[in-house]
């Protein structure tokens, strides 16, 4: 099975359903505020990215990587950036197109797999904004290498990702009121580690299949690609989203810079 193709279909279904917080395009008021210089974006569920992580945004060439849904990309475009959005989900990209058409924003939209970004775009970019999404791919190394390749010297990669410990637990069991007990070995691969019947059920219901990635793969992988880690923060989620929220940060974010 082509898991990336399956996950693209799953996100199309999720986006068309309209209930996920990651599928809610920003309102015209948010775009108007961004044009006045009053803006913020997230890489993780709650915490706004520090403004000093962005560098000079006006006129900057920005890639929103696997970050469609009508949220970060149009805000950054309204704040003055030249924005390209690359995402595997046509339905999510349609949310960016909706905001762009509604509010008169110029953005370039590219439907593609984040692991093949170099086949579809060319640098140099001043900034890459990569909100939580790499849990849907098996291998991060090609992503970090290609990010480094398309950044200009001094360019910045802002990336959000899920705490890998999140996948120690059976979240179907937790949602059903079960106990908080370790069930999985890391790194987690849904297609490999879940019972075949459960995997098939998720496929039939068009639910995305997930992968955990170690901190070495997430942070060390950026360093191995030639980037320097210059910032880091943790974020929580909500108790409604997961009972793990009471025990640990569920999201991390990094700022990496390509050396001059």
Q: What is the mean pLDDT of the chain?
A: 96
CB count, 10 Å around CB of 231?
A: 15
Q: Which of 260, 245, 193 is nearest to 46 (CA)?
A: 245
DSSP for 220-260, written as a single string: IHHHHTT-EEEEEEEE---TTT-GGGGTS--EEEEEEE---
Q: What percent of the chain has pLDDT over 90?
A: 95
Strands 228-235 and 251-257, sheet pairing: antiparallel
Taking a C-beta distance cutoff of 8 angstroms, is the pair 37, 79 a contact? yes
Q: CB neighbours of 217 closer than 8 A, spacing ≥ 6?
A: 140, 141, 187
Alpha-carbon span 156 to 224, nearest angstrom: 15
The answer on pLDDT for 1 being more than 90 is: no
pLDDT given for residue 105 in this prediction: 98
Taking a C-beta distance cutoff of 8 angstroms, is the pair 43, 133 a contact? no
Q: 3-162+212-257: which CATH architecture?
A: 3-Layer(aba) Sandwich (3.40)
Report the b/e string of 154-187 with b at 16+ CB within 10 A: ebbbbbbbbbbbbbbbbbeebeeeeeeeebbeee
What does the domain layout of the chain look like in residue ranges? 3-162+212-257
- φ/ψ of 234, rounded to 5, equals -105, 155
Taking a C-beta distance cutoff of 8 angstroms, is the pair 11, 91 a contact? yes
pTM of the full predicted structure?
A: 0.96
Q: What percent of the chain has pLDDT over 70?
A: 100
| Tens digit of each residue's pLDDT (9 = 90 or more) over 197-256 | 999 999 999 999 999 999 999 999 999 999 999 999 999 999 999 999 999 999 999 999
Counting Cβ atoms within 10 Å, is residue 138 exposed (0-12), middle (13-18) or buried (19+)? middle
Alpha-carbon span 183 to 170, nearest angstrom: 6
Q: CB neighbours of 116 closer than 8 A, spacing ≥ 6?
A: none
Report H helices in 128-250. Answer: 141-150, 171-175, 190-193, 196-204, 215, 221-224
The answer on pLDDT for 18 being more than 90 is: no
């Amino acid at each position: 099975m082509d898991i990336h193709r399956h996950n693209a279909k799953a996100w199309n279904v999720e986006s068309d359903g309209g209930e996920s917080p990651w599928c809610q395009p920003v309102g015209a008021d948010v775009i108007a505020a961004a044009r006045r210089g009053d803006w913020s974006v997230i890489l993780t569920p709650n915490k706004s990215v520090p403004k000093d992580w962005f560098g000079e945004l006006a006129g900057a060439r920005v890639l929103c990587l696997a970050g469609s849904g009508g949220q970060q990309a149009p805000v950054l475009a309204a704040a003055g950036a030249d924005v390209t959005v690359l995402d595997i989900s046509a339905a999510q990209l349609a949310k960016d197109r909706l905001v762009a058409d509604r509010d008169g924003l110029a953005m370039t939209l590219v439907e593609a797999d984040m692991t093949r970004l170099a086949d579809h775009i060319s640098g140099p970019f001043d900034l890459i904004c990569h909100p939580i999404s790499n849990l849907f791919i098996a291998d991060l190394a090609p992503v970090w290498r290609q990010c480094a390749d398309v950044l200009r010297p001094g360019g910045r990669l802002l990336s959000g990702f899920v705490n890998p410990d999140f996948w120690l637990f059976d979240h179907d069991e937790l949602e059903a009121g079960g106990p908080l007990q370790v069930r999985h070995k890391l790194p987690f691969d849904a297609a490999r580690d879940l019972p075949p019947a459960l995997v098939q059920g998720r496929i039939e219901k068009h639910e995305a299949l997930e992968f955990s990635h170690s901190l070495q793969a997430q942070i060390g992988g950026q360093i191995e690609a030639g980037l320097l880690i210059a910032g880091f923060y943790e974020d929580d989620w909500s108790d409604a989203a997961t009972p793990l929220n009471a025990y640990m940060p569920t999201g991390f974010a990094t700022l990496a810079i390509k050396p001059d």
